[in-house]
C-alpha cells in the first residue's frame, strides 16, 4: 500500500506541478464561458433596433385602424406580471432589442393607387439612404381575402410577420365574421376564447394548488436532463483521464523507466498507484471547478427572486439525493477502473502515441457506442436500446446515470453494478498481465496478443 501511494503521489505531483495543468484549469472553463458569453454579450450589447412601419391601406374598409392597434401592442416588450415577472422583464431588457414605430406613409404613396403601382415605387423608397419607413405594409382586399404584403429592408425581412402572424389572420377572421353578419364583439370574443388545458403527472399537487412552472419542470424533466448531462460528463471524464494514463505510461515506456519501477514495486502497486494518481488529479480539477461553479451559482442565485432561487434549490436537492450520488460515484469508479487500467496496459506496449493508435481505433469505436446512445437519449430517453446496452458492463458506467433518472427496481441496479464490477475485476486482471508484458517487451500490441494474454494461465511476462 505504501508503494502504491508513493506512485500515486508521484503521478499526482508530476501533473499538478506543471504550468500546463494550471493553465488548462483556467483556460478550459474560460473558453467554455466565452463560448456561451460572447454571443450573449454581442446580443445584449447590440443597439435597440427600430422598425419604422408605414401602412398603405388599399382595402377601402379602413383595415389600417385595427392594424395600427395590433402594431402598437407589440411595439415594445410588455411589462411582465406574476411569479416570473422579474426574470421575464430582465430577459426582455437583455435580449428583446426590437422596437416598432409607426410612421407616416412616404411621399409618392397614397390610398388611391393600385397595389401594382404602389409596389413599383416601394423598392426605391426603401432603398433610399435616409428612408423614413423601413417597413411598408401594403394591405389590399380582393373581396374574399385580405392581402398583407410586407415590404422591408433586407435586415428586417419577416420581423413584422413573425410578430403579427396570428393577429393578421385574426383580421381575416373578423372580416369573414362581418361578412356573415356576426356581431364584431361576438366574433372577437369567439376568437379570443380559450379552453383551460393542463398537463399533469402523478407527481403534481392536488387540484386547486397553484401551478409552479419551474418546480414542475425541474421535477418532471430535471432528473432526465441531469442524467444525460452526467452520462456525458462521465464519458468525457473517463475518456480524458484514460488518455492521461495512456500518455503517462507511454512516456515512462519511452524513457525506459517502467522496468526500474517493476523491479521496485509489484505490477498491482504500479498500476493502481497510477490510476489513483490520475484520479487525484481529476479530483483536484473537480474540486477547483466545483468550487468555482458553486460560488458562481450561489452568487447568481442571490440575484434571482427568492422564490425562484428556492424552487431551484428544492428541485436540485430532490434530484441529487444521497443514494443517487452514491450510485453515480460507484458507476463512475467502476468505469474509471475498467478503462483506466485498459488504457494504461495499452500504453505499456507503446513508445509513441502513433504506436497506440493502431489498438486505440477499435476501442474508440466501442467507446463511441454509449456516446451515440446518450445523444439519442436526448430525443428518446426511454429507448429500449439504452436499457439493453446498460446491461453490457463496459457501457454500464455511461448509460446507468441516464437510467437512474427514472425509478428503477433495486435488483436491476444491483445486477448492473455486479456485472460492471465483475467486468472491472477481469479487465484489471488482464490489464495487469498486459501491462507487465508490455513494460518488459518491445513488441507491438495486437488483438491476437491481447487474446493470448487474456487466456494465459500463469502470470509471467
Binding region for other proteins (CB under 8 A): 2-3, 6-7, 10, 14, 252, 255-257, 259-266, 436, 440, 458-461
Plot region of 96 (φ>0 → left; ψ -120 to 50 → alpha; else → beta): beta
Instruction: Report the C-alpha gap between 333 and 17 in whole angstroms.
Output: 25
Minimum distance from residue 286 beta carbon to other proteins (Å): 25
Minimum distance from residue 28 beta carbon to other proteins (Å): 22
Grid cell for residue 431 = 490489464
Instruction: Report the C-alpha gap between 378 and 397 in whole angstroms.
Output: 18
Query: Which of residues 212 and 252 has its CB atom nearest to other proteins in the complex?
Result: 252
Grid cell for residue 456 = 494465459
Minimum distance from residue 10 beta carbon to other proteins (Å): 6
Query: Which of residues 20 and 82 has its CB atom nearest to other proteins in the complex?
Result: 20
Minimum distance from residue 342 beta carbon to other proteins (Å): 22
Query: Which of residues 2 and 354 has its CB atom nearest to other proteins in the complex?
Result: 2
Instruction: Report the C-alpha gap between 140 and 110 in whole angstroms.
Output: 13
What does the DSSP 8-state code read for residue 120?
H
Minimum distance from residue 306 beta carbon to other proteins (Å): 52
Query: Which of residues 257 and 378 has its CB atom nearest to other proteins in the complex?
Result: 257
Query: Which of residues 8 and 424 has its CB atom nearest to other proteins in the complex?
Result: 8
Query: For residue 437, how many other CB atoms are within 10 A of its CB?
Result: 22
Residues ≥6 apart with Cβ < 8 Å to 192: none
Q: Which single residue is written with the C-alpha cell 454500464?
A: 396
Contact (Cβ atoms closer than 8 angstroms) between residue 358 and residue 444: yes
Query: Which of residues 90 and 280 has its CB atom nearest to other proteins in the complex?
Result: 280
Query: Which of residues 276 and 373 has its CB atom nearest to other proteins in the complex?
Result: 276
Contact (Cβ atoms closer than 8 angstroms) between residue 106 and residue 118: no
Among 204, 214, 219, smallest CA distance to 84 is for: 214
Minimum distance from residue 282 beta carbon to other proteins (Å): 21
Instruction: Report the C-alpha gap between 135 and 159 in whole angstroms.
Output: 10
Instruction: Report the C-alpha gap between 363 and 359 in whole angstroms.
Output: 7
Three-state SS at 140: strand
Instruction: Report the C-alpha gap between 137 and 103 in whole angstroms.
Output: 11
Instruction: Report the C-alpha gap between 75 and 314 in whole angstroms.
Output: 38
Query: Which of residues 354 and 457 has its CB atom nearest to other proteins in the complex?
Result: 457
* Phi and psi angles of residue 423, each rounded to the nearest 5 degrees, phi first: -65, -40
Minimum distance from residue 21 beta carbon to other proteins (Å): 13
Minimum distance from residue 14 beta carbon to other proteins (Å): 7
Query: Which of residues 335 and 438 has its CB atom nearest to other proteins in the complex?
Result: 438
Minimum distance from residue 350 beta carbon to other proteins (Å): 15
Amino acid at each position: 500500500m505504501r508503494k502504491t501511494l508513493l506512485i500515486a503521489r508521484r503521478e499526482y505531483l508530476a501533473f499538478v506541478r506543471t504550468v500546463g495543468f494550471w493553465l488548462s484549469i483556467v483556460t478550459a472553463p474560460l473558453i467554455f464561458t466565452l463560448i456561451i458569453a460572447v454571443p450573449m454579450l454581442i446580443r445584449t450589447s447590440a443597439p435597440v433596433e427600430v422598425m419604422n412601419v408605414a401602412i398603405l391601406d388599399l382595402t377601402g374598409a379602413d383595415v389600417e385602424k385595427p392594424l395600427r392597434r395590433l402594431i402598437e401592442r407589440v411595439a415594445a416588450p410588455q411589462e411582465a406580471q406574476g411569479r416570473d415577472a422579474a426574470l421575464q422583464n430582465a430577459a426582455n431588457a437583455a435580449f428583446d432589442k426590437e422596437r416598432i414605430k409607426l410612421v407616416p406613409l412616404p411621399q409618392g404613396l397614397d390610398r388611391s393607387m393600385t397595389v401594382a403601382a404602389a409596389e413599383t415605387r416601394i423598392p426605391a423608397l426603401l432603398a433610399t439612404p435616409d428612408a423614413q419607413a423601413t417597413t411598408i405594409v401594403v394591405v389590399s382586399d380582393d373581396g374574399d381575402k385580405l392581402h398583407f404584403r410586407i415590404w422591408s429592408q433586407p435586415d428586417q425581412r419577416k420581423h413584422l410577420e413573425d410578430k403579427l402572424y396570428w393577429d393578421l389572420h385574426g383580421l381575416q377572421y373578423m372580416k369573414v365574421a362581418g361578412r356573415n353578419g356576426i356581431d364584431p364583439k361576438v366574433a372577437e370574443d369567439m376568437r379570443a376564447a380559450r379552453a383551460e388545458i393542463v398537463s399533469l403527472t402523478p407527481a403534481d399537487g392536488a387540484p386547486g394548488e397553484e401551478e409552479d412552472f419551474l418546480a414542475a419542470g425541474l421535477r418532471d424533466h430535471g432528473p432526465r436532463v441531469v442524467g444525460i448531462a452526467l452520462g456525458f460528463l462521465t464519458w468525457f471524464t473517463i475518456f480524458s483521464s484514460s488518455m492521461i494514463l495512456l500518455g503517462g505510461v507511454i512516456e515512462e515506456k519511452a524513457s525506459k523507466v517502467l522496468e526500474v519501477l517493476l523491479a521496485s514495486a509489484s505490477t498491482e502497486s504500479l498500476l493502481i498507484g497510477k490510476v489513483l494518481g490520475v484520479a487525484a488529479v481529476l479530483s483536484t480539477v473537480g474540486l477547483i471547478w466545483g468550487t468555482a461553479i458553486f460560488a458562481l451559482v450561489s452568487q447568481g442565485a442571490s440575484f434571482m427572486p427568492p422564490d425562484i432561487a428556492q424552487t431551484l434549490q428544492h428541485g436540485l436537492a430532490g434530484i441529487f439525493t444521497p443514494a443517487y450520488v452514491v450510485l453515480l460515484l460507484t458507476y463512475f469508479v467502476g468505469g474509471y477502473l475498467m478503462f483506466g487500467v485498459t488504457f494504461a496496459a495499452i500504453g505499456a506496449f507503446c513508445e509513441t502515441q502513433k504506436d497506440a493508435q493502431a489498438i486505440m481505433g477499435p476501442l474508440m469505436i466501442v467507446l463511441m457506442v454509449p456516446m451515440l446512445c446518450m445523444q439519442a437519449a436526448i430525443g428518446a430517453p426511454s429507448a429500449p436500446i439504452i436499457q439493453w446496452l446498460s446491461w453490457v458492463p463496459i457501457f454500464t458506467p455511461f448509460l446507468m446515470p441516464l437510467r437512474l433518472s427514472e425509478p428503477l427496481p433495486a435488483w436491476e441496479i444491483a445486477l448492473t453494478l455486479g456485472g460492471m464490477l465483475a467486468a472491472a475485476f477481469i479487465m484489471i486482471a488482464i490489464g495487469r498481465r498486459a501491462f507487465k508484458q508490455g513494460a518488459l517487451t518491445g513488441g507491438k500490441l495486437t488483438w491476437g496478443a491481447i487474446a493470448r494474454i487474456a487466456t494465459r494461465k500463469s502470470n509471467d511476462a
